A and B are shown apart, each in its own frame.
Chain A
Amino acid sequence: MDTLPAASGEAAEPLTPAQLRELYSLMVAVRHLDTSAIAWQRQGIIPGYAPELGQEAAQVGSGYAVDTTRDFVFPTYREMGVARTMGVDMVAYMSTHKATWHGGLYDPLESRLAPIQAVVAGSVLHAVGWAHGQTLSAAAGTTAPPGVALTYFGDGASSQGDVHEALNFAAVLKAPVVFFVQNNGWAISVPTERQVAGGSVAARAAGYGVPALQIDGDDVVAVVEATRRAFAHARAGNGPVLIEAMTYRRGPHSTSDDPGRYRSLDEERDAAGADPLERFRQRLLADGIADDAFFAEALAAAKAEEEQIRAGIQALGPRPGTEMFDLVFQETTPALQAQAANWREESEHV
């Protein structure tokens, strides 16, 4: 499905060989960090993790379209690949999984990535508000060129009322928002067919008069192209776009989940389709864009990067307890100060 007007200008330009290789390197880095994080959890380095195995093309491809000088991204808790693609400090990002700080330790304003969001569909409306702010600033002549909000959610989150409110608000306000749905087939244990009436989140966009695309989310080139088109459309003042990237959650919902209780390995293999990373590798090989030496180099770089991030995570101590109190408000209250003083005294942190 594709109801978005055809791309023109920059958004229509094909990816260069260098960009294709960059996308592959990013996907390998994300894949390696993602699978390593599961190992970290098993080794007791982090208490938990929400893997994105199988969603590398959807995440890297969409994140690749972001202009971090002006756009802003609203993640869920499963957007590690987007963060990595945007160049977010990955120790600061992964610190959320170390249970150091819920929202992560990275600076959202500097990185253009909102704090990690644990509420399902929680940040979709924030994207609409942020995007409408760009419209207001542009009208007041204070920002140019306008930024676009990219917000992520899944097939499960599409059941939330806030997604409806967000699409309706965005369409009414013609807010520059790209709604990026990763339909990974599962909301923990519930499959899409028990979740999404009508079978397609993208199909719902028509009801709001919002152009939508349903794409192969495991084809990184298709994802980049679709996201670029959507960004161009929104940036030009045409309002929001919805992209439904069809992919598959090849791993568990989280390191606490046991998919064996709701799907068999055979079902997994059949439904998952070809591995997006392997697909892309074959394509680059066939097109003569990359060779085995490049792939080996990319993997070595990914391993070196993971080692650095792991070392950074292992070196992360807990935040000072005073932050519990100091970061609640910009202007603290006497009651909070008194509680902090009690805590210091009675918890021997004087």
Chain B
Amino acid sequence: MSNSTLEGGAAASTSAATPASTTVMSMQQALNRALDEVLAENPRTLIFGEDCGRLGGVFRITDGLQAKHGAQRVFDTPLAESGILGMSVGLAMAGFHPIPEVQFDGFAYPAVNQIVCQMARMNYRSRGTMPMPITLRVPSFGGIRAPEHHGESLEALFAHVPGLKVVSPSNPHEAYHLLKYAATRPDPVIFMEPKSRYWQKDDVDLAHCDANDDGASPTGAKVQREGRHLTLVAWGAMVARCLQVAGLAAEDGIDIEVLDLRWLKPIDAEALAASVRKTRRAVVVHEAPLTSGLGAEVAQLITQSCFDTLKAPVERVTGFDVPYPSGDLEDEYIPNIDRILFGIQRVLEYKRG
């Protein structure tokens, strides 16, 4: 059975009662709605990028926004990512809040000079006089049988850059709230959208981001499923997969907690500590290659806060240190259910000495 079939409706909703403000949406619809509202609420926001205007983006995330908000505020740019990001920096210097899109993760590489040397540093260089409220949307990660450079996981690259913040939603509800929040921040945020989850529908509570947390900002990590025996740490598309794994493990009596990191910078170290202090075991799952991946950072944060009570070293289940493969091999590359279960097994069976 392929992972994609399994994943269909796997994201378990933990809420008992459904609030009246809840509606079912795909992540694409949730992101589109968030952008629509951001444009309406802040006249300084602008959306632009390749095919973002008339077409509504190749993933239709900006669908209808140009017609509604005008071609001045939602527009197409020439096909040059460094230009898009350099222009964003200049617009931010002029007091705007740009929400640019690079069409695919791999297309961010030509813009790295502007992202790293300019966008991430202008607030610092200008001694705080020229903030960079730029929300860079990046359709990210793999899983859609796309051409080369359309399945990259760049979170470690961006998280390593001083001056950037990085966030990735795991489902439509998180997508709506995290994007609305990111697009009102005064600092640059890399918003990594899991493109393999764009079309999955789920409940979105438009009024409340986090249960019992009225009006709170969607900062930090979020427990998407509570458990007692082991913590799976994930973000983006891997959260849904970890929820599936947790469901399967439960059949064997293993009670797994799934912690959706959400913010990849800053990482919510306290939430990691709180979860793993309880479960005493952790496996971090990501699509990006293993070496120097964000899993290493997560493992270190857990080790630092939970070393005395950990039952086993933090395990990493990740992509491999290889260029992202062609579609035929991508299921071999992306952590699948079996590999995550093996990782869990290694941790559960670990014996000291």
Q: Which A residues have a C-beta under 8 Å from some C-beta of B?
A: 72, 101-103, 105, 107-109, 114-116, 119, 122-134, 136-137, 139-140, 149, 161-162, 165-166, 168-169, 172, 323, 326-331, 333-336
Contact = CB atoms under 8 A, between A and B. Distances in A.
A165 B129 contact: no
Given A105-B127, A125-B83, A114 B78 contact: no
A76 B86 CA distance: 15
Interface string B115-143: 00110001111111111000000000000
Interface in B161-205: 162-163, 165, 185-187
Contact of A115 (B82, B83, B114, B122): B122
A122 B122 CA distance: 11
B247 interface: no
A149 B122 CA distance: 18
Interface centre among A103, A108, A126, A166 (most CB of B within 10 A): A126
11 contacts: A103-B126, A130-B91, A133-B96, A134-B94, A165-B80, A168-B78, A169-B78, A323-B127, A327-B124, A328-B123, A329-B163
A57 to B, nearest CB: 28
A103 B127 CA distance: 8
A134 B92 CA distance: 12
B90 A126 contact: yes
A128 B77 CA distance: 12
Interface of B: 43, 46, 72-73, 77-78, 80, 82-83, 85-96, 98, 113-114, 117-118, 122-131, 162-163, 165, 185-187, 265-267, 269-270
Given A130-B90, A166-B86, A330-B128, 6 more contacts: A119-B117, A125-B83, A129-B89, A133-B93, A329-B123, A330-B123
B223 to A, nearest CB: 19
Contact of B90 (A125, A139, A140): A125
Contacts of B83: 125, 128, 162, 165-166, 168-169
Nearest to B88: A129
Contacts of B90: 125-133, 149
B86 A124 contact: yes
Contacts of B114: 125, 162
Nearest to A101: B127
A165 B123 CA distance: 24
Contacts of A137: 94
Contacts of A149: 90
A126 B127 contact: no
Contacts of A168: 78, 80, 83
A115 B86 CA distance: 15
A94 B128 CA distance: 19
Contacts of A169: 77-78, 80, 83, 87
